[in-house]
Amino acid sequence: MRKAIIGGTGVYGIDENPRKETVSTPYGSVDIDIVTFKEEEIIFLARHGKKHSVPPHLINYRANMKALEILGVKWIYATAAVGSCNEDFAPGDLVIIKDFLDFTKNRPVTFFEGGEEPVCHVDMTSPYCPMLRDKFITFSKQEQISIKGEGVYVCTEGPRFESHQEIRMYKNLGGDVVGMTNIPEVIFAKELGMCYATIGMISNWCTGMQQDPIALHDIETALGNNKELLSHAFMTIFEQSLDQDQCTCNASLVSL
Protein backbone atom coordinates (compact mmCIF):
# COMPACT_ATOMS: atom_id res chain seq x y z
CA MET A 1 0.00 0.00 0.00
CA ARG A 2 1.34 3.36 -1.04
CA LYS A 3 1.73 6.73 0.67
CA ALA A 4 1.18 10.22 -0.71
CA ILE A 5 1.81 13.88 -0.04
CA ILE A 6 -0.66 16.51 -1.24
CA GLY A 7 1.04 19.89 -1.52
CA GLY A 8 -0.99 23.04 -1.13
CA THR A 9 -0.01 26.64 -1.83
CA GLY A 10 3.76 27.02 -1.76
CA VAL A 11 4.44 23.27 -1.92
CA TYR A 12 4.54 22.17 -5.55
CA GLY A 13 7.06 19.35 -5.61
CA ILE A 14 9.83 17.38 -3.95
CA ASP A 15 13.44 17.61 -5.06
CA GLU A 16 13.96 13.85 -5.38
CA ASN A 17 14.13 13.36 -9.18
CA PRO A 18 10.45 12.52 -9.62
CA ARG A 19 8.94 10.30 -12.28
CA LYS A 20 5.88 11.95 -13.81
CA GLU A 21 2.67 10.04 -14.55
CA THR A 22 -0.86 10.89 -15.64
CA VAL A 23 -3.65 8.89 -14.02
CA SER A 24 -7.04 8.54 -15.74
CA THR A 25 -10.11 8.51 -13.50
CA PRO A 26 -13.88 8.65 -14.12
CA TYR A 27 -13.69 12.32 -13.11
CA GLY A 28 -10.77 13.37 -15.30
CA SER A 29 -7.02 12.87 -15.58
CA VAL A 30 -4.53 13.83 -12.87
CA ASP A 31 -0.80 14.57 -13.15
CA ILE A 32 1.28 13.22 -10.29
CA ASP A 33 4.93 12.75 -9.41
CA ILE A 34 6.39 9.54 -8.03
CA VAL A 35 9.62 9.71 -6.06
CA THR A 36 11.68 6.82 -4.73
CA PHE A 37 12.73 7.45 -1.16
CA LYS A 38 14.82 4.74 0.52
CA GLU A 39 13.49 2.08 -1.85
CA GLU A 40 9.84 3.07 -1.41
CA GLU A 41 7.71 4.96 -3.92
CA ILE A 42 5.95 8.05 -2.59
CA ILE A 43 3.24 9.82 -4.60
CA PHE A 44 3.24 13.62 -4.75
CA LEU A 45 0.23 15.60 -5.94
CA ALA A 46 0.26 19.39 -6.34
CA ARG A 47 -3.26 20.43 -5.39
CA HIS A 48 -3.25 23.66 -7.42
CA GLY A 49 -1.06 22.27 -10.21
CA LYS A 50 2.69 22.76 -10.60
CA LYS A 51 2.24 26.38 -11.69
CA HIS A 52 -0.43 27.19 -9.10
CA SER A 53 -2.88 27.74 -11.93
CA VAL A 54 -6.04 26.09 -10.53
CA PRO A 55 -8.03 28.24 -8.06
CA PRO A 56 -9.47 26.51 -4.98
CA HIS A 57 -13.09 26.47 -6.15
CA LEU A 58 -12.14 24.80 -9.46
CA ILE A 59 -9.82 22.06 -8.17
CA ASN A 60 -10.99 18.64 -9.33
CA TYR A 61 -10.95 17.12 -5.86
CA ARG A 62 -12.76 13.93 -6.87
CA ALA A 63 -10.30 13.21 -9.67
CA ASN A 64 -7.33 13.93 -7.39
CA MET A 65 -8.46 11.59 -4.64
CA LYS A 66 -9.67 8.89 -7.03
CA ALA A 67 -6.27 8.94 -8.73
CA LEU A 68 -4.58 8.30 -5.41
CA GLU A 69 -6.95 5.41 -4.74
CA ILE A 70 -6.19 3.92 -8.18
CA LEU A 71 -2.48 4.13 -7.33
CA GLY A 72 -3.07 2.15 -4.13
CA VAL A 73 -2.55 5.00 -1.69
CA LYS A 74 -3.74 4.43 1.88
CA TRP A 75 -1.83 7.10 3.84
CA ILE A 76 -1.79 10.81 3.00
CA TYR A 77 -0.18 13.85 4.56
CA ALA A 78 -1.37 17.18 3.17
CA THR A 79 -0.20 20.75 3.61
CA ALA A 80 -2.56 23.71 3.69
CA ALA A 81 -1.75 27.40 3.66
CA VAL A 82 -4.13 29.04 6.11
CA GLY A 83 -4.91 32.39 7.62
CA SER A 84 -5.14 32.66 11.39
CA CYS A 85 -8.09 33.99 13.37
CA ASN A 86 -6.54 32.71 16.63
CA GLU A 87 -4.24 35.17 18.39
CA ASP A 88 -2.03 32.26 19.52
CA PHE A 89 -1.22 31.20 15.92
CA ALA A 90 0.94 33.70 14.04
CA PRO A 91 2.27 33.75 10.46
CA GLY A 92 5.07 31.21 10.11
CA ASP A 93 3.58 28.84 12.72
CA LEU A 94 2.60 25.21 12.10
CA VAL A 95 -0.75 23.88 13.30
CA ILE A 96 -2.09 20.32 13.19
CA ILE A 97 -5.66 20.34 11.89
CA LYS A 98 -8.03 18.40 14.16
CA ASP A 99 -11.51 19.27 12.84
CA PHE A 100 -13.30 21.49 10.33
CA LEU A 101 -16.20 23.83 9.68
CA ASP A 102 -17.51 23.68 6.10
CA PHE A 103 -18.61 26.94 4.46
CA THR A 104 -18.11 25.86 0.85
CA LYS A 105 -21.01 26.35 -1.54
CA ASN A 106 -20.66 24.87 -5.02
CA ARG A 107 -18.40 21.81 -4.84
CA PRO A 108 -19.17 18.11 -5.24
CA VAL A 109 -18.72 16.78 -1.71
CA THR A 110 -19.26 13.02 -2.12
CA PHE A 111 -18.60 10.07 -4.40
CA PHE A 112 -22.02 8.67 -3.48
CA GLU A 113 -24.68 10.37 -5.57
CA GLY A 114 -27.49 7.84 -5.53
CA GLY A 115 -28.82 6.15 -8.64
CA GLU A 116 -27.79 2.50 -8.66
CA GLU A 117 -25.52 2.98 -5.65
CA PRO A 118 -26.81 2.59 -2.08
CA VAL A 119 -27.21 5.59 0.16
CA CYS A 120 -23.98 6.05 2.15
CA HIS A 121 -23.02 8.36 4.94
CA VAL A 122 -19.49 8.93 6.22
CA ASP A 123 -18.58 9.10 9.90
CA MET A 124 -16.76 12.31 10.86
CA THR A 125 -15.92 11.47 14.47
CA SER A 126 -12.21 11.76 13.57
CA PRO A 127 -12.00 13.44 10.14
CA TYR A 128 -8.20 13.69 10.36
CA CYS A 129 -6.44 10.39 11.07
CA PRO A 130 -5.44 10.30 14.77
CA MET A 131 -2.63 7.84 14.03
CA LEU A 132 -0.98 10.11 11.44
CA ARG A 133 -1.48 13.13 13.69
CA ASP A 134 0.14 11.34 16.64
CA LYS A 135 3.10 10.24 14.52
CA PHE A 136 3.66 13.81 13.35
CA ILE A 137 3.53 15.09 16.94
CA THR A 138 6.03 12.45 18.06
CA PHE A 139 8.37 13.21 15.15
CA SER A 140 8.14 16.95 15.82
CA LYS A 141 9.17 16.49 19.45
CA GLN A 142 12.11 14.29 18.45
CA GLU A 143 13.30 16.74 15.79
CA GLN A 144 12.47 19.85 17.84
CA ILE A 145 10.01 21.13 15.25
CA SER A 146 7.83 23.82 16.79
CA ILE A 147 4.12 23.00 16.58
CA LYS A 148 1.89 25.71 18.01
CA GLY A 149 -1.02 23.35 18.64
CA GLU A 150 -4.09 21.77 17.07
CA GLY A 151 -6.73 23.82 15.33
CA VAL A 152 -10.15 23.81 13.70
CA TYR A 153 -10.02 24.54 9.96
CA VAL A 154 -12.73 26.75 8.46
CA CYS A 155 -13.10 26.07 4.75
CA THR A 156 -14.52 28.83 2.56
CA GLU A 157 -15.32 28.80 -1.14
CA GLY A 158 -12.77 31.34 -2.31
CA PRO A 159 -11.04 32.56 -4.28
CA ARG A 160 -11.71 35.83 -2.47
CA PHE A 161 -10.49 36.32 1.08
CA GLU A 162 -13.06 36.59 3.82
CA SER A 163 -14.63 39.76 5.17
CA HIS A 164 -14.02 41.07 8.68
CA GLN A 165 -17.50 40.06 9.84
CA GLU A 166 -17.14 36.59 8.38
CA ILE A 167 -13.90 36.10 10.31
CA ARG A 168 -15.60 37.26 13.51
CA MET A 169 -18.34 34.70 12.92
CA TYR A 170 -15.89 31.85 12.21
CA LYS A 171 -13.92 32.72 15.32
CA ASN A 172 -17.08 32.76 17.46
CA LEU A 173 -17.98 29.32 16.09
CA GLY A 174 -14.67 27.87 17.25
CA GLY A 175 -12.55 28.22 14.12
CA ASP A 176 -8.80 28.75 14.46
CA VAL A 177 -7.55 28.89 10.89
CA VAL A 178 -9.21 29.64 7.55
CA GLY A 179 -8.46 28.14 4.14
CA MET A 180 -10.15 27.26 0.86
CA THR A 181 -9.12 23.71 -0.02
CA ASN A 182 -9.44 21.12 2.74
CA ILE A 183 -13.10 20.50 1.97
CA PRO A 184 -14.00 18.20 0.27
CA GLU A 185 -10.51 16.63 0.19
CA VAL A 186 -10.71 15.26 3.73
CA ILE A 187 -14.25 13.97 3.10
CA PHE A 188 -13.21 12.07 -0.02
CA ALA A 189 -10.30 10.53 1.88
CA LYS A 190 -12.73 9.18 4.48
CA GLU A 191 -15.10 7.87 1.80
CA LEU A 192 -12.21 6.02 0.16
CA GLY A 193 -10.97 4.53 3.44
CA MET A 194 -7.70 6.48 3.46
CA CYS A 195 -5.76 7.76 6.46
CA TYR A 196 -5.44 11.51 5.92
CA ALA A 197 -3.89 14.30 8.00
CA THR A 198 -3.32 17.98 7.28
CA ILE A 199 -0.67 20.31 8.64
CA GLY A 200 -1.63 23.95 8.44
CA MET A 201 1.05 26.52 7.60
CA ILE A 202 -0.02 29.93 8.90
CA SER A 203 0.61 32.28 5.98
CA ASN A 204 -1.15 35.44 7.18
CA TRP A 205 -3.54 36.94 9.69
CA CYS A 206 -7.16 36.73 8.63
CA THR A 207 -9.00 39.90 7.63
CA GLY A 208 -9.45 42.23 10.60
CA MET A 209 -7.00 40.44 12.89
CA GLN A 210 -4.37 43.09 12.14
CA GLN A 211 -4.63 46.61 10.73
CA ASP A 212 -2.39 45.91 7.75
CA PRO A 213 -3.96 44.34 4.63
CA ILE A 214 -2.97 40.84 3.47
CA ALA A 215 0.23 41.04 1.37
CA LEU A 216 1.53 38.44 -1.10
CA HIS A 217 5.17 38.82 -0.07
CA ASP A 218 4.28 38.12 3.59
CA ILE A 219 2.46 34.92 2.57
CA GLU A 220 5.37 33.72 0.42
CA THR A 221 7.86 34.35 3.24
CA ALA A 222 5.79 32.44 5.81
CA LEU A 223 5.33 29.45 3.51
CA GLY A 224 8.91 29.31 2.29
CA ASN A 225 10.24 28.69 5.77
CA ASN A 226 8.18 25.54 6.27
CA LYS A 227 7.72 23.66 2.98
CA GLU A 228 11.04 21.77 2.99
CA LEU A 229 10.74 21.03 6.70
CA LEU A 230 7.32 19.43 6.23
CA SER A 231 8.30 17.44 3.15
CA HIS A 232 11.24 15.96 5.07
CA ALA A 233 9.01 15.17 8.05
CA PHE A 234 6.40 13.40 5.93
CA MET A 235 8.95 11.33 4.04
CA THR A 236 10.66 10.27 7.26
CA ILE A 237 7.41 9.28 8.94
CA PHE A 238 6.48 7.26 5.86
CA GLU A 239 9.55 5.10 6.53
CA GLN A 240 7.82 3.80 9.64
CA SER A 241 5.45 0.87 9.75
CA LEU A 242 1.93 2.19 9.23
CA ASP A 243 -1.12 0.08 10.03
CA GLN A 244 -4.78 0.96 9.50
CA ASP A 245 -5.63 -1.21 12.50
CA GLN A 246 -4.41 1.73 14.60
CA CYS A 247 -7.38 3.88 13.54
CA THR A 248 -10.87 3.58 12.05
CA CYS A 249 -10.27 5.51 8.81
CA ASN A 250 -10.94 2.46 6.62
CA ALA A 251 -14.28 1.78 8.33
CA SER A 252 -15.97 5.19 8.12
CA LEU A 253 -18.82 4.44 5.71
CA VAL A 254 -22.35 3.82 6.98
CA SER A 255 -24.56 2.26 4.29
CA LEU A 256 -28.35 2.19 4.50
Residues belonging to the binding site are 9, 47-48, 180-181
Name the β-bridge partners of 19: 34
Name the β-bridge partners of 103: 156
Would you call 182 exposed, middle or buried from its count of C-beta atoms within 10 A (0-12, 13-18, 19+)?
A: buried
Known binding-site residues for substrate equal 180
Residue-wise DSSP of 65-103? HHHHHHTTEEEEEEEEEEEE-STT--TT-EEEEEEEEEE
Distance, in Å, from the CA atom of 195 to the CA atom of 190, rounded to the nearest integer, reads 7
Distance, in Å, from the CA atom of 158 to the CA atom of 61, rounded to the nearest integer, reads 15
Question: For 254, which DSSP code?
Answer: E
Give the number of other CB atoms < 10 A from CB of residue 214.
15
Known binding-site residues for phosphate equal 9, 47-48, 181
